Amino acid sequence: LLRKGDPDRGAVTLVLEKRGEFCGILERELLSRAHVVFTGGASLYRAKRASHPNVHAFPSSVDVPHFSAARSCDFEPADQAAIARPRLGFFGVIDERMDLALLAELAKRRPDWQLVLVGPVVKIDPASLPRLPNIHYLGQKTYAELPGYLAGWDVALLPFARNESTRFISPTKTPEYLAGGKPVVSTPIADVVSPYGELGLAHIADSPDDFVVAAEAAMAEDPVARQSKVQRLLEGISWDRTWTDMH
């Protein structure tokens, strides 16, 4: 129905509200049948802890040996090797959670910076992606290839939009970037601000201008001092520990 012609905003809003109500009903039904509930992040835990008597938070962990290979990797993937420096990179799904306007403005403000985006484009029209000379879409890569791309970046990005899709996300790539030895710049996603921003392990920026300033600060960091702080964090997290605690 909504694809025929140009539906009025009221009709679209009503459909979205009804969809939200239906999802809420399904969630309550699911929770009523569950004996234990795990949430993939702290913000989601805070939102759901009153909905069930046995809720536990398990934020994203990291395969440290896999991603720490980026710190000593001397192999440059062929499709990234020709891209100039500095490189600001992202790996992950490129979808409605990505702040495309922010990326475009960042690229315009610093045309000498190269933005490298690794991952598939899903749920959005590829034609909507900003196309500028210093934005490079390298497509989907395997898990095994990611440290090689990460090794060639100067800054790792989390350029997520602030919308309903990102309200409770806890990006797994945050500790992956840090394990790979890269400074991180992120929009103010709750589960990145706390703990990573609060610990000084991620630069938080909202506007394009703030992103430029944050990226400049990230590139000026002392990598040895940063990695010392990161190492203390990484020693306390692993997927093995997460599984053991859940079990």
Q: Is the peptide bond before 195 cis (omega within 30 degrees of 0)?
A: yes
pTM passes above 0.75: yes
Question: Residue 188's closest CA among 156, 160, 218?
Answer: 160
Above 80 in pLDDT, residue 213?
yes
Which pLDDT does position 6 carry in this prediction? 54
Q: What is the pLDDT of residue 48?
A: 94
Query: Over the stretch 93-151, which tens digit does the pLDDT of each residue have?
Result: 999 999 999 999 999 999 999 999 999 999 999 999 999 999 999 999 999 999 999 99
The one-letter code for the residue type at 101 is A
Share above pLDDT 90 across residues of the chain, in percent, rounded to a whole number? 87
Q: Residue 209: what pLDDT?
A: 97
Average pLDDT over residues 51-73: 95
Contact 44, 37 (CB under 8 A): no
Q: Which of 22-26, 134-138, 202-206 has the lowest mean pLDDT?
A: 22-26
Q: What angle do CA 46, 50, 53 make, to 5 degrees?
A: 115
Is 239 a residue whose pLDDT tops 50? yes
Q: What dihedral do alpha carbons 18, 20, 26, 32 form, nearest 10°?
A: -120
